[in-house]
Homo-oligomer: A and B are copies of this chain.
Amino acid sequence: MNDHSPLTIGIDFGGTSVKIAVVQQSQIIDHSPPIATQDFAGHGELIAEMVRAIQDLRVRHPEVAAIGVGMPGFVNFEEGLVYQLTNVRDWTGIPLKKLLQAQTGLPVAVDNDANCMAVAEWKCGVGRGFEHVVFMTIGTGVGGAIIANGEMIRGAFHGAGEIGQTSIDYQGRRGHYGNFGALEDYIGNREISAKAHAAYTAAGVPISHQDCSPAALADAAHRGDSIALAQWEDIGRMLATAAMNCCWLLNPQAIVIGGGVARAGDLLLDPLKEHLFSQLSGPFKDHLQILPATFGHEAGTIGAAALARDLL
């Protein structure tokens, strides 16, 4: 680590809490107490609270040079405009970059959270040095981001990378946006639990929904539970289809997998690799790496801070 590398603030704006940290390279060196997102009636009050936390951190770290923010929703990166947040009220059409710049005097970058997680891996983590990478984050939602030709692909209207909405079955169940067979509706947290619960129930095994969480299913699979193992095999196979589509379309060097569900590790990655590599031809698979993400909960903060460094 270069001690002279700039300090930036990374903000991971979640539906539950806003986490604000001072970051050097990939290290969080200080942070504020989390701010409860839902405690604020409007965006103005919440932004004011964020600015107070930022200024407190700057007192301790006056060399902080820029701010990056990852938002759980649809963002215009160039303008730093938050179009809409799904789970937070009064956050429609908010020029967050402009507001934060005016109130802090620092340069500000705003992007969506999946892009921030990808930037963390790409600039500081397991994706370093790649020109062509697909990032996937699998949790309650399934998100993603694409690096091609050494650049983040944001698309025409800042929407690119929505791997969770791509279809794995054109006749599948209909999802939130009318799309049939969306990956997220098969391997998101809730769907994994519901499907496992149904499998245990069908096998005559009484079980709570809680014991069907991805974490519980990973524990059960590690104990050799055959129903749990079959779930991971299925999840890996469905994930492989979406990953394969990215490979045929983008021919990446690596696919980086993060998010809560990815904590299952090889339980997820082994069937993913098996089903993925068996469905690709040579140039698509021979050098392809499937890599677990470096960063966990801190990915959003570290990535937002890395975006901020790019402003300097």
Contacts and interface: CB of A to CB of B under 8 A. Distances in A.
Nearest to A279: B179
Interface string A238-258: 101100111011111100000
Given A74-B283, A177-B279, A177-B280, A251 B158 contact: yes
A168 B166 contact: no
A146 B279 contact: no
A92 to B, nearest CB: 13
Interface string A178-199: 1111000000000000000000
Contacts of A181: 169, 241
A177 B249 contact: no
A149 interface: yes
A166 B245 CA distance: 5
A284 interface: yes
Given A157-B283, A181-B241, 13 more contacts: A148-B148, A154-B251, A155-B252, A156-B253, A157-B284, A157-B287, A159-B284, A160-B249, A162-B249, A163-B248, A166-B248, A177-B279, A178-B279
Interface of A: 74, 83, 131-132, 144, 146, 148-149, 151, 153-163, 165-171, 177-181, 237-238, 240-241, 244-246, 248-253, 278-281, 283-284, 286-287
